[in-house]
């Protein structure tokens, strides 16, 4: 497999070769003095457009270092090769094709056309990031791409075995016809699966491209009659070129909109990062800072109580608890900001380990029901943090105050929600009269941040049941 750097170098080399080939074709076209002026001017106009857009797109690649632009430049240059060959070798050259273009057109026109379809599929895969955003659609489009490449291979093989006879022409026409349903299927799949404006703009452009190609194909076979017998409306290549030009316009529109969205997302990411930094700073100041200050005070008290063993041991034990608390707090902060822990499996493991430490320390019998293999669902940093801190607060309160003998911890997850239920057979409490400290308030606030619902059901001597439901 090629590295990313080698892929870029290879793509750049291919682009350079096609660019040189385009220059050669254009030169051969313009020195063909038998072509009529109107065809020459049309070709110059389309060639200028393709060259201009290719240069602009390549500059975009140099600025953003995004391979998507390379695919599109290659697609533009291949299409320009195709149109140059067609313009310069058939009736569009007033019936006087040169020997050079006769050979080039016969052997390269159709392969270049199908190759452009294949490169466009590569572009769509990269542009819509299907490999990460919709793996099912990605696999379907990859199958269609493989079919396109297989058709291209069969077309090339047909030139070896049936180079210049009727059988070969029929085979190649049938293979070209097979491209039509593949294009329809691709458009429908992307429209159904991808629900965003960028994809829909791209689909509109693809429809222009597809309709122009089909119309050009049908006009060239004589299946459809031209709408007018005046240039350029009596040239089948005009309709194919028009479809490509409209597709290019839609492409740049979608890219402009996409860049705007990326800029907005980057701004939002910066805002979220600032919130995370503020949260970390607050946690370090309020929680860790307070604990360190307390440790310092306990250390001074221990020094003053050197002759009182009972007091000395009490202060040292309390200082040890605070040191353990600081260690856990720092560990939680590091765990929370590490992106490799974004998956639910790691979160569930950490939750089960914390519950085990707390329950075993209080000799509470407990049962834990977590999914064995949770779905590959990623939780954003703040969601993972809030869910874990709610869980820690519930388990901490259960272990410290419930005086329970048994507890059950259950967590279920579906495609749309996560539900956590923790219940015990402890002393319970009167929710209306209990002092509402920071613990209960923080849990409710974190549940609101998660757009979830936290429900506490309890009564004196009847145990406690806490349910948390959040969307995922």
Cα(392)–Cα(226) distance, rounded to whole angstroms?
74
The predicted pLDDT at position 95 comes to 44
**Which pair of structure tokens corresponds to residue 107?**
């052997």
**Cα 344 to Cα 413: distance, rounded to the nearest angstrom:** 10
d(CA 332, CA 328): 6
Neighbouring residues of 400: CB distance < 8 A, sequence distance ≥ 6: none
List Cβ neighbours of 2 (8 Å cut-off, separation of 6 or more): 10
Q: Is 323 exposed, middle or buried (0-12, 13-18, 19+ CB in 10 A)?
A: middle
Phi, psi of 164 (to 5 degrees): -150, 50
Supply the DSSP string of 4-32, one letter for each residue: HHHHHHHHHHHHHHHHHHHHHHHHHHHT-
Predicted pLDDT at 466: 92
For residue 333, which of 376, 399, 389 has the smallest C-alpha distance?
389
What's the CATH number of domain 341-472, 3.40.1710.10, 3.30.70.330, 3.30.70.100, 3.30.565.10? 3.30.565.10
pLDDT mean values, one per 10 residues, the chain (472 residues): 54 59 57 53 67 75 76 81 66 47 73 86 84 86 91 89 81 85 84 80 79 80 80 75 78 76 79 73 67 78 79 80 76 69 76 87 89 68 82 88 91 82 89 65 86 89 91 81
pLDDT of residue 143: 92
* Cα 112 from Cα 122, distance rounded (Å): 15
Model pLDDT, residue 423: 93
> Which contacts of 269-274 are long-range, i.e. CB under 8 A and separated by 24 or more positions?
272/382
pLDDT of residue 147: 92
pTM: 0.51
Token pair in block for residue 251? 């492409």
- Residue-range domain boundaries for the chain: 4-258, 341-472
């Amino acid at each position: 497999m090629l590295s990313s750097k080698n892929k870029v170098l290879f793509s750049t080399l291919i682009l350079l070769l096609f660019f040189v080939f385009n220059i050669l074709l254009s030169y051969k076209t313009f020195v063909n003095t038998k072509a009529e002026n109107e065809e020459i001017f049309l070709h110059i106009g389309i060639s200028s457009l393709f060259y201009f857009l290719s240069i602009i797109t390549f500059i975009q690649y140099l600025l953003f270092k995004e391979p998507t632009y390379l695919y599109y430049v290659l697609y533009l240059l291949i299409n320009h090769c195709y149109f140059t060959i067609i313009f310069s070798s058939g009736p569009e050259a007033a019936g006087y094709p040169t020997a050079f273009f006769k050979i080039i057109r016969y052997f390269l026109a159709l392969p270049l056309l199908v190759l452009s379809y294949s490169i466009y599929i590569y572009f769509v895969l990269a542009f819509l990031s299907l490999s990460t955003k919709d793996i099912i659609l990605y696999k379907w489009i990859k199958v269609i791409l493989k079919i396109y490449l297989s058709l291209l291979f069969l077309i090339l093989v047909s030139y070896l075995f049936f180079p210049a006879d009727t059988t070969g022409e029929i085979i190649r026409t049938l293979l070209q016809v097979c491209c039509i349903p593949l294009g329809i299927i691709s458009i429908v799949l992307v429209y159904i699966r991808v629900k965003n404006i960028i994809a829909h703009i791209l689909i509109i452009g693809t429809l222009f491209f597809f309709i122009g190609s089909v119309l050009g194909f049908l006009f060239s076979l004589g299946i459809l009659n031209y709408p007018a017998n005046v240039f350029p409306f009596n040239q089948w290549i005009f309709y194919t070129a028009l479809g490509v030009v409209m597709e290019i316009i839609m492409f740049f529109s979608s890219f402009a909109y996409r860049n705007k969205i990326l800029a907005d997302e980057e701004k939002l990411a910066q805002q979220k990062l600032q919130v995370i930094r503020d949260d970390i700073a607050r946690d370090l100041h309020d929680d860790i800072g307070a604990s360190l200050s307390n440790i310092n005070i306990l250390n001074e008290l221990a020094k003053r109580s050197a002759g009182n063993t009972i007091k000395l041991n009490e202060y040292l034990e309390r200082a040890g608890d605070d040191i353990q608390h600081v260690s856990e707090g720092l560990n939680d902060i590091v765990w929370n900001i590490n992106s490799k822990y974004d998956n639910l499996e790691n979160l569930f493991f950490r939750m089960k380990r914390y519950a085990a430490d707390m329950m075993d320390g209080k000799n509470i019998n407990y049962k834990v029901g977590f999914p064995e293999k949770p779905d590959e669902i990623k939780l954003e940093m703040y969601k993972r943090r809030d869910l874990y801190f709610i869980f820690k607060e519930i388990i901490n309160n259960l272990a410290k105050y419930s005086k329970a003998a048994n507890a059950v911890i259950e967590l279920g997850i579906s495609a749309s929600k996560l539900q956590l239920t923790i219940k015990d057979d402890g002393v319970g409490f009167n929710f209306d009269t209990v002092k509402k400290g920071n613990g209960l308030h923080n849990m409710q606030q974190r549940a609101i941040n998660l757009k979830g619902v936290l429900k506490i059901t309890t009564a004196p001597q009847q145990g406690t049941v806490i349910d948390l439901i959040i969307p995922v």
